[in-house]
């Protein structure tokens, strides 16, 4: 039996990192991004309706900013002010695992997301909430897909397919959002990072 390559080992490590959250995932999302966008900024903070417009290309910085902004909009749509309350922050955020594809290939840059920790009363309108948050992002493109997850392990495997081959950083751990209550539930006492 042959040993694993470095790419396969890295891919397996990413899968093991996100697998404990699979049972909490509910929605699979694919978003495409614009390669450049027209940014509109108010010229004056409290005077008039003038706007300054300029074109901006998609960079690593704007990609990360777009992911953070989308996550903040989704958090607000799902939990409102509860996400800002100090006693509710531990559970009042969605679980969002992000994979970025197309940066090192000829494909259009796109995101695969696995989303969970959605309040039961919001599940009926979750597609509308997710797409409304994405439309508010400057680099959000119109080709998108939102589906309920039936096999979360399969979706996580699909999200990590490029790790070790085309893009070692496909799974964006830094931009992912994991509520601390879930981190504590999947970690044993010895492994938990929180005191």
**Residue-averaged pLDDT of the chain:** 86
CA dihedral 165, 170, 174, 178 (to 10 degrees): -110
pLDDT band at 187 (very low <50, low <70, confident <90, very high): low
Of the candidate ranges 22-26, 89-93, 140-144, 146-150, the one whose mean pLDDT is the lowest: 89-93
Cβ-based neighbour number of residue 153 at 10 Å:
14
Percent of the chain with pLDDT over 70: 93
Percent of the chain with pLDDT over 90: 48
CA dihedral sign of residues 195, 83, 65, 111: positive
The domain spans of the chain are 6-186
94-135 tens-digit pLDDT: 999 999 988 877 788 999 999 999 999 999 999 999 999 999
């Amino acid at each position: 039996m042959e040993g694993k390559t470095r790419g396969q080992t890295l891919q397996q490590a990413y899968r093991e990192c996100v697998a404990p959250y699979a049972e909490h995932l509910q929605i699979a999302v694919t978003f495409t991004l614009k390669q450049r966008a027209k940014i509109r900024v108010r010229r004056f903070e409290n005077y008039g309706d003038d706007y300054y417009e300029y074109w901006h290309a998609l960079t690593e910085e704007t990609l990360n900013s777009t992911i953070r902004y989308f996550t903040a909009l989704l958090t607000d749509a799902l939990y409102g002010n509860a996400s800002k309350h100090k006693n509710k922050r531990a559970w009042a955020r969605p679980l969002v695992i992000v994979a970025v594809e197309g940066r090192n290939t000829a494909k259009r840059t796109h995101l695969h997301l696995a989303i969970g920790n959605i309040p039961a009363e919001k599940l009926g309108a979750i597609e509308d909430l997710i797409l409304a948050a994405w439309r508010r992002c400057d680099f959000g493109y119109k080709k998108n897909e939102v589906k309920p997850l039936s096999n979360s392990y399969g979706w996580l495997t699909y999200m990590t397919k490029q790790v070790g081959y085309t893009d070692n950083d496909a799974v964006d751990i830094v931009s992912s959002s994991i509520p601390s209550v879930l981190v504590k539930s999947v970690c044993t006492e010895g492994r938990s990072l929180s005191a």
